[in-house]
Amino acid sequence: MSDPIRLGLIGTGLAVEKLHWPALRQMPDRYVVTAFADTSPEQAARFAGYSGVDPARHHTDHRDLLARDDVDAVLVSVPIPLLYGIARDALEAGKHLLCEKPTGTDAEQAEAFLAFEREFPDRVVLIAENYFYRDDIRHARALLDDGAIGKLHLMAYRRAGQMVPRAGRFNSTPWRRKPQYRGGVHLDAGVHDIAQIRMLCGDAIAVHGAVQWANSTIDSPSDLALNLTFASGAIGNYTACYSEVPVPPEPNDMRLYGTEGVLVLSGPEHERRVTLTRADGTTRTDVFRGIDNGYYAELCDFADAVRHGGPVVGTIAQSAANMRIVLAALDSAEQGGVVALDPTADGGVPLWRPRGAEGLFDGLPGERECSKE
Ligand SMILES: NC(=O)c1ccc[n+]([C@@H]2O[C@H](COP(=O)([O-])OP(=O)(O)OC[C@H]3O[C@@H](n4cnc5c(N)ncnc54)[C@H](O)[C@@H]3O)[C@@H](O)[C@H]2O)c1
């Protein structure tokens, strides 16, 4: 085993506290945090407090962190409008880059992100789209690749819930409530759902979107209804509703209808379920408990690429492709017509597997249970 990667954190807010640190702290063989930067002294003190990283390793200005020789790679986790500039600074400073999604604020910044692949070919860049690494989604993808439902013809996916600011939750951050990026919550959270859709249905070639502004607590559309045509010929519908008022419990599941079966992804974060119903009526349900939504696996992919070379699954191009569908939906909503998309050059999202492992979940946290009925 080589030495752990010396990681600098730029931005130590909610995503680091709730998502990245719980994974990082389990991986001392792969990562050691040697420095962190946050413009907020309170936030820096909070991070030092729960992580145990020496407060003397804090910088207010991320450029001071980037000047350090004991930082090989950085995790950039700052508000969306700041991602691009800090990502560029990190690459120019010679660091490998794990950068939060999305790839910028709009189509122009997504193009600028994509240019990194040409400008900095010797650096590892991973855009943190954790859904590419989520166990239940990868399991569903493996079933689809094995032909479990025959040919997919229809996808139906709905996400509806209340979203109002609550202290300590993502939706309380001021930069989310007055978003300086196109589409607001649909770019911030919606790209994850689109990642799931692209993992399981492939690339979309036509998009028709419509939006509503029905939540006075966020300065962005609250509702998005999206019809999709996929390169495979399948069709699909995605509905997202971030309601101001409480909504009754909803399944919020994704259903994939095929010529030989139906696959349903359902369940809350603490218990994800993938249920296959075959044409003969038999079913199989796989339950995933205590998985971390892919953050640990994402960090594994990044570490492997830094140490051993080789491509990552969460490339800039893959995240930009997710973002492109959200932006096309917004274009469609504004123009009132269907927007055509070219399929991505690399033909969809590859299925990530742990390096050197036989199974899909080897070495990853969480419990998996397979029931046959
Ligand atoms: N992958 C996911 O599931 C997921 C979930 C939530 C957030 N995110 C992403 O993570 C990023 C951060 O989101 P968050 O919820 O943690 O926001 P946040 O506001 O809680 O945290 C951002 C932190 O960045 C700091 N900061 C601001 N400007 C800075 C600068 N110039 N230099 C250093 N630090 C600076 C802030 O002080 C704050 O501590 C966003 O890009 C968001 O899209 C991803």
Which domains are delineated in the chain? Answer: 5-131+295-323 (3.40.50.720), 135-291+363-372 (3.30.360.10)
Helix (H) or strand (E) holding 67: none
* 66 CA from centroid of ligand 1 (Å): 18
Helices within 159-231 (DSSP H only): 174-177, 185-188, 190-201
Ligand 1: which residue has its CA nearest to atom 9?
Answer: 100
Ligand 1: which residue has its CA nearest to atom 5?
Answer: 15
Helix (H) or strand (E) holding 66: helix 62-66
Q: Is any ligand 1 atom within 6 A of the Cβ of residue 314?
A: no
Which atom of ligand 1 is found nearest the CA of 188? 43
Q: Is any ligand 1 atom within 6 A of the Cβ of residue 15?
A: yes
Q: Is any ligand 1 atom within 6 A of the Cβ of residue 299?
A: no
SS3 at position 19: helix
Task: For residue 264, give every residue at least 6 positions away whose Cβ sits within 8 Å of its Cβ, in sequence order, or none.
Answer: 253, 254, 255, 256, 273, 274, 275, 277
Q: Is any ligand 1 atom within 6 A of the Cβ of residue 222?
A: no
Q: Is any ligand 1 atom within 6 A of the Cβ of residue 10?
A: yes
Which atom of ligand 1 is found nearest the CA of 83? 41
* 1 CA from centroid of ligand 1 (Å): 32
Pocket perturbation via mutation, ligand 1, pick of 100, 169, 180, 191 by most ligand atoms within 8 A of CB: 100
Q: Is any ligand 1 atom within 6 A of the Cβ of residue 322?
A: no
Cα–Cα nearest to 242, from 303, 318, 308, 158: 158
Q: Is any ligand 1 atom within 6 A of the Cβ of residue 78?
A: yes
Residue 233 exposed, middle or buried by CB count within 10 Å (0-12, 13-18, 19+): exposed
* Main-chain dihedrals φ then ψ at residue 219, nearest 5 degrees: -95, 60
Q: Are 129 and 195 in contact (CB under 8 A)?
A: yes
pLDDT value of residue 372 = 59
Question: 113-131 b/e with 16+ CB inside 10 Å = b?
Answer: bbebeeebeebbbbbbbbb
* 343 CA from centroid of ligand 1 (Å): 31
Give strand pairing partners of 274: 265, 286
Q: Is any ligand 1 atom within 6 A of the Cβ of residue 66?
A: no
Cα–Cα nearest to 312, from 192, 132, 182: 132
* 341 CA from centroid of ligand 1 (Å): 30
Task: For residue 34, give every residue at least 6 positions away whose Cβ sits within 8 Å of its Cβ, in sequence order, or none.
Answer: 6, 7, 8, 57, 68, 70, 71
Torsion of CA 357, 361, 367, 371, to 10 degrees: -110
Rounded distance between C-alpha atoms, residue 8 and residue 36, angstroms = 5
* 161 CA from centroid of ligand 1 (Å): 23
Give the strand order in the sheet containing 152-162.
339-340, 204-212, 223-230, 235-243, 152-162, 254-258, 261-266, 271-278, 283-289, 367-372
Tokens at residue 334, please?
């504004």
In single-letter form, the type of residue at position 355 comes to R
Q: One digit per residue, pLDDT tens: the chain, 373 residues?
A: 589 999 999 999 999 999 999 999 999 999 999 999 999 999 999 999 999 999 999 999 999 999 999 999 999 999 999 999 999 999 999 999 999 999 999 999 999 999 999 999 999 999 999 999 999 999 999 999 999 999 999 999 999 999 999 999 998 999 999 999 999 999 999 999 999 999 999 999 999 999 999 999 999 999 999 999 999 999 999 999 999 999 999 999 999 999 999 999 999 989 999 999 999 999 999 999 999 999 999 999 999 999 999 899 999 999 999 999 999 999 999 999 999 998 776 679 999 999 999 999 999 999 999 875 5
**292 CA to centre of own chain:** 12
Rounded distance between C-alpha atoms, residue 11 and residue 62, angstroms = 9
pLDDT value of residue 310 = 85
Rounded distance between C-alpha atoms, residue 356 and residue 350, angstroms = 16
* 11 CA from centroid of ligand 1 (Å): 6
Ligand 1: which residue has its CA nearest to atom 4?
Answer: 15
Q: Is any ligand 1 atom within 6 A of the Cβ of residue 46?
A: no
pLDDT in tens, 213-254: 999 999 999 999 999 999 999 999 999 999 999 999 999 999
Rounded distance between C-alpha atoms, residue 119 and residue 109, angstroms = 15
Q: Is any ligand 1 atom within 6 A of the Cβ of residue 82?
A: yes
Q: Is any ligand 1 atom within 6 A of the Cβ of residue 171?
A: no
* 213 CA from centroid of ligand 1 (Å): 25
* Statement: the pTM of the whole predicted model exceeds 0.95: yes
Ligand 1: which residue has its CA nearest to atom 3?
Answer: 130
Give strand pairing partners of 286: 274, 370
